[in-house]
Amino acid sequence: MDRGLYHRTNKNPARRHSGRLSVVAAMTFLFVIGPAFGQAILEGERFHPVTAKQGMVATSHTLATDVALEVLKKGGNAVDAAVTAGFALAVTQPRSGNIGGGGFMLISKGDGSEPEAIDYREKAPAAATESMFQDESGNVVRDRSRFTHLAAGVPGTVAGLALALERHGTISLKQALAPAITLAREGFIVPLRFTEGLEQARDRLERWPATRTTFYKEDGRAWQPGERFRQPELADTLQRIADNGVKGFYEGKTATLITEEMARHGGLITREDLINYRPAIRTPVHGTYRGYDIYSMSPPSSGGTHIVQILNILEGFPMAQFGHNSADAIHHMAEAMKLAYADRSKYLGDTDFVDVPLTGLTSKGYAEELRKSIDPDKARPADDINPGQPAAWESPETTHFSVVDKWGNAVSNTYTINFSYGSGITVKGAGFLLNNEMDDFSAKPGVPNAYGLIGGEANKVEPGKRMLSSMSPTIVRKDGQNVLVTGSPGGSRIITTTLQVILNVIDHGMNIQTAVSAPRMHHQWLPDEIRVEQGISPDSIHLLEERGHTIVHGSAMGAIQSIMVSEDGVLHGGADPRRSTSSAMGY
């Protein structure tokens, strides 16, 4: 990656509230979302971002942020730091960080060249079949795609991170792995969230002896806050990758451990599946919104497509005049979200297998047609909404982290093992959890998955196919310069979480910490309800109900880690307080 060609000349009036400027950044303060939270947001700039001049890292775990920032301080670039963070999170945050899953990385150089996407999503094994999650009568067997060895897709994380480093990094894979190996071998002090997660998932995790041995003490107790947790088997697995490159995972001892695990329990992943796995280089989805360029992940992620689609629809409405989280703003966002998620159910899938009408879905003309269907005063029932006709406009528990270096290079990365702790199955002798991403396929067209998302023929199970995702690593540019790096975990809510941070910055002029912290809403077409976090005005909720919306009060949505670059080149980090271990650090 060219590390020196970066000139900050962008004019960005939307960032008039850029927070306090300082050369040395500290961790963001964390807070609990409470009854006064919404009022604090309405008062404006109470939540201040971390600021820095040379480099910034925002991840969901302090230790990962710390080791990635050290890479930047030693002269590494954003990709070097991102890959280091990715492996560190596999150690410190096993419920979502991973080497047993997959994801997407978006890379945007500081020289203004076109961004690149690396698709390291998992793939269906060669022996997978369209009906593998149905019984003899054709009914979906729900837990088969979630909590069995059949639930695992061929992991892509190791290959994807290695490819990013090979193409754009300046350090070796061995150097990027070194901090993770140390954290696994020597251990780290357990935070409260780690203990709570193991207790909450105990029934599911204790079913598997290797998982019980890896994550619980000999007497069965969970590791407690303040205690040191070590993972020697994971350290050995990571060391094999450091010594032998990607072959240290997809071949040799680790591959043998994976295939033996599959053979013992009726899983499908074979040695050939592992050897044949390859990440893919994709062209990011691109759109514009009020003069900003929006780059996000292309299929097999649906995230970028529908972020652009929803922004296109909302561009025709005065979102800033509506006011942040007003009834008008939430109503129009919900109506636009319904239309996009309806299209998602029919058209989105792996473009290596199906034709996705991307140009149509992301076109301004199609958005204009969809916009005409939105009644400003009345909710449209989901049952009245069907997927549209984008072809007419054709000419076809997850973790996120963001990094910006001193040359202006930016990385937005989201990866996952799907559920918290994935399938709950640890590969015996290897120390890492397997994903349950096969649930992201349509087990049967029209039947919702674990997140309530409806899928169709485009996302049916096929050998070697990548399952559809909502992961939405996103980079916003202005006049060719990177100005916002963002993304989130959250299943089906990833798209709407990322969307709202973009709106908060561009339409509502928030600093990045306020934009990240503000209360969120979500609608995904079916079920026909608006889910809201605490902090949305009761008056707004009442007005929405009068328009015909069903409002559901839910728990926190997403854990978005973001970085914004101000006009004078100062970096502003926003770590999401919804995840207690989140941190943004810079120097």
Contact indicator for 6, 563 with CB cutoff of 8 Å: no
Annotated binding site for L-glutamate: 121, 416-418, 440, 469-470, 491
Q: Which amino acid is at 488?
A: S
pLDDT tens digits, one per residue of 226-266 = 999 999 999 999 999 999 999 999 999 999 999 999 999 99
Q: Is 398 a catalytic residue?
A: yes
Q: Tell me the average pLDDT across 332-345.
A: 96
Which residue out of 148, 211, 259, 398 is catalytically annotated? 398
Task: Confirm whether 288 is domain-assigned.
Answer: no
Task: Confirm whether 455 is domain-assigned.
Answer: no
What residues contact 394, with CB distance under 8 A and at least 6 apart? Answer: 357, 359, 360
Task: Confirm whether 416 is domain-assigned.
Answer: yes
Structural domain boundaries, residue 132: 62-281+409-437
φ, ψ at 545 (rounded to 5°): -65, -35
pLDDT band at 389 (very low <50, low <70, confident <90, very high): confident
Average pLDDT, the chain: 91
Distance CA 401, CA 499 (A): 16
Angle between helices 252-265 and 232-244 (to 10 degrees): 130
Task: Confirm whether 56 is domain-assigned.
Answer: no
Q: How many CB atoms lie within 10 A of CB 228?
A: 10
Closest by alpha carbon to 157, among 126, 111, 121? 121
Contact indicator for 126, 273 with CB cutoff of 8 Å: yes
Task: List the beta strands (DSSP E) in 506-577.
Answer: 521-522, 530-532, 551-553, 562-565, 571-574
Q: In Å, what is the CA distance from 391 to each residue of 163, 294, 579?
A: 34, 22, 40
CA 544: distance to chain centroid?
A: 29
3-state secondary structure of 485: strand
Percentages helix, strand, coil for the chain (3-state, rounded to 5) are: 35, 15, 45
Task: Confirm whether 297 is domain-assigned.
Answer: no
pLDDT tens digits, one per residue of 171-219 = 999 999 999 999 999 999 999 999 999 999 999 999 999 999 999 999 9
Q: Which residues pair with 404 in a beta bridge?
A: 56, 410
Task: Confirm whether 266 is domain-assigned.
Answer: yes
Task: Confirm whether 83 is domain-assigned.
Answer: yes
Task: Confirm whether 84 is domain-assigned.
Answer: yes
pTM of the model: 0.91
How many domains does one find in the chain?
1
Q: How many CB atoms lie within 10 A of CB 186?
A: 10
What residues contact 473, with CB distance under 8 A and at least 6 apart? Answer: 104, 105, 106, 117, 296, 297, 303, 400, 412, 413, 414, 487
Contact indicator for 481, 565 with CB cutoff of 8 Å: yes
Annotated binding site: 121, 416-418, 440, 469-470, 491
pLDDT tens digits, one per residue of 94-146 = 999 999 999 999 999 999 999 999 999 999 999 999 999 999 999 999 899 99
Q: In Å, what is the CA distance from 165 to each residue of 79, 177, 315, 360, 575?
A: 6, 11, 37, 34, 25
CA 128: distance to chain centroid?
A: 26
